[in-house]
């Protein structure tokens, strides 16, 4: 019998405040659960605007501890209520001066499974993230969730094949990639990079981008979120480039094993010949 996981993602416009932003994500999650989804993921720093368009100390106010902050605690309640695994990207403060771009992973019973911290931090025009975030320092966790093995890689991370590979080596069947990226910068890459990563690493990817113009910049986030399978094929339609959208798709996790047996990239890779890759 096929091992099909009904999975969801949300690309959302910024509402102007955290309370209404979180509340509308809760509504999307409830709708996804009604449609039979068993896992859902949200966009990068989903409960805040994309404040990295500017460099201002006032924006440290969006940070909270993970898992003991209000948003992750609330998402644990949501997971319990809906019976879904929830991937929750937030701005994390560990202690004063230690801030990370993080995603918490919560299991379908509401338990906190752990977190991923974005490793590769951009300082590209309009993405002034080095001002806010320390680079991730807790490795490449893959979480054993109620639906299967789930990893997270966050936005600018996606340009670096090494992390995608490490998540595959750690057993990921599905990697959520919460993002915030502008049309002028990356719309072309967006259609290439995650499908290529899904093929090279033989797993599903959920690619989530914010959508709309926000208050801290005049660039538009172009949405076009999607699921892509281990053969690099989009699962259903790509989402709108203008509007908020809940995307729900059936992912046949058996395809991961099928593709791994057919192509066997993990057999054929040559770590013995890659020393140069890990030289500083």
Indicate which residues carry an active-site annotation: 44, 118, 155
- Enclosing H/E stretch for 142: strand 142-144
Residue 44 found at the interface with ligand URP (CB under 6 A): yes
Helix (H, G, I), strand (E, B) or coil at 199: helix
**Binding to ligand URP (CB under 6 A): which residues in 114-173?**
122, 124, 127, 129, 155-156
From 204, 186, 180, select the one nearest 260 (Cα to Cα): 204
**Binding to ligand URP (CB under 6 A): which residues in 3-32?**
none
Distance CA 85, CA 105 (A): 7
Distance CA 120, CA 278 (A): 15
- Enclosing H/E stretch for 221: strand 220-222
**Binding to ligand URP (CB under 6 A): which residues in 256-275?**
none
Out of 185, 187, 196, 200, name the contact with ligand URP by CB under 6 A.
185
Residue 92 found at the interface with ligand URP (CB under 6 A): no
Distance CA 255, CA 277 (A): 30
Residue 196 found at the interface with ligand URP (CB under 6 A): no
- Comparing CB distances to ligand URP, the nearer of 157 and 245 is 157
Q: In sequence order, what are the beta bridge partners of 5? A: 251
- Comparing CB distances to ligand URP, the nearer of 10 and 255 is 10
Residue 102 found at the interface with ligand URP (CB under 6 A): no
From 152, 190, 198, 154, select the one nearest 50 (Cα to Cα): 154
| Total residues at interface with ligand URP (CB under 6 A) | 12
Residue 181 found at the interface with ligand URP (CB under 6 A): yes
Query: Is residue 217 packed enough to be buried (19+ CB in 10 Å), middle (13-18) or exposed (0-12)?
Result: middle
Please choose, out of 17-25, 83-91, 134-142, 179-187, the segment that lies near ligand URP by the rule CB under 6 A: 179-187
Task: Report angle CA 128, 129, 135 to the nearest 5 degrees.
Answer: 150
Q: In sequence order, what are the beta bridge partners of 64? A: 92
**Minimum separation from the CB atom of position 154 to ligand URP (A):** 7
Q: Answer yes or no: are the C-beta atoms of 211 and 12 closer than 8 Å.
A: yes
**Minimum separation from the CB atom of position 69 to ligand URP (A):** 20
- Comparing CB distances to ligand URP, the nearer of 147 and 206 is 206
**Binding to ligand URP (CB under 6 A): which residues in 206-265?**
none
Out of 12, 105, 180, 207, name the contact with ligand URP by CB under 6 A.
180
Please choose, out of 62-70, 107-115, 178-186, 253-261, the segment that lies near ligand URP by the rule CB under 6 A: 178-186
Strand 98-106 versus strand 85-95 pairing type: antiparallel
Out of 76, 145, 186, 201, name the contact with ligand URP by CB under 6 A.
186
Helix (H, G, I), strand (E, B) or coil at 235: coil
- Comparing CB distances to ligand URP, the nearer of 145 and 179 is 179
Binding site residues, ligand URP, CB under 6 A: 44, 122, 124, 127, 129, 155-156, 179-181, 185-186
């Amino acid at each position: 019998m096929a091992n099909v996981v009904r999975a969801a993602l949300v690309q959302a416009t910024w509402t102007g405040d955290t309370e209404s932003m979180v509340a509308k994500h809760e509504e999307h999650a409830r709708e996804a659960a009604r449609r039979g989804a068993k896992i859902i993921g949200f966009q990068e720093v989903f409960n805040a605007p994309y404040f990295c368009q500017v460099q201002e100390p006032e924006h440290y106010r969006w940070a909270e501890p993970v898992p003991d902050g209000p948003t992750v605690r609330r998402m644990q309640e949501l997971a319990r209520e809906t019976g879904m695994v929830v991937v929750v990207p937030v701005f994390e403060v560990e202690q004063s001066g230690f801030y990370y771009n993080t995603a918490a992973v919560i299991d379908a019973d509401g338990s906190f499974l752990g977190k991923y911290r974005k490793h590769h931090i951009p300082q590209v025009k309009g993405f002034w993230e080095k001002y806010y975030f320390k680079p991730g320092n807790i490795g490449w966790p893959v979480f054993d969730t109620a639906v299967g093995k789930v990893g997270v890689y966050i936005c600018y991370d996606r340009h670096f094949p090494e992390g995608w590979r490490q998540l595959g080596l750690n057993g990921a069947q599905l990697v959520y990639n919460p993002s915030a990226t502008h049309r002028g910068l990356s719309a072309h890459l967006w259609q290439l990079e995650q499908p290529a990563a899904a093929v090279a690493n033989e797993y599903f990817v959920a690619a989530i981008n914010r959508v709309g113009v926000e208050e801290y910049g005049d660039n538009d986030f172009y949405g076009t979120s999607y699921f892509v399978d281990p053969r690099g094929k989009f699962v259903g339609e790509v989402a709108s480039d203008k509007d908020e959208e809940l995307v729900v798709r059936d992912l046949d996790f058996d395809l991961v094993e099928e593709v791994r047996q057919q192509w066997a990239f993990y057999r054929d890779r040559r770590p013995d010949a890659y020393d140069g890759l890990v030289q500083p």
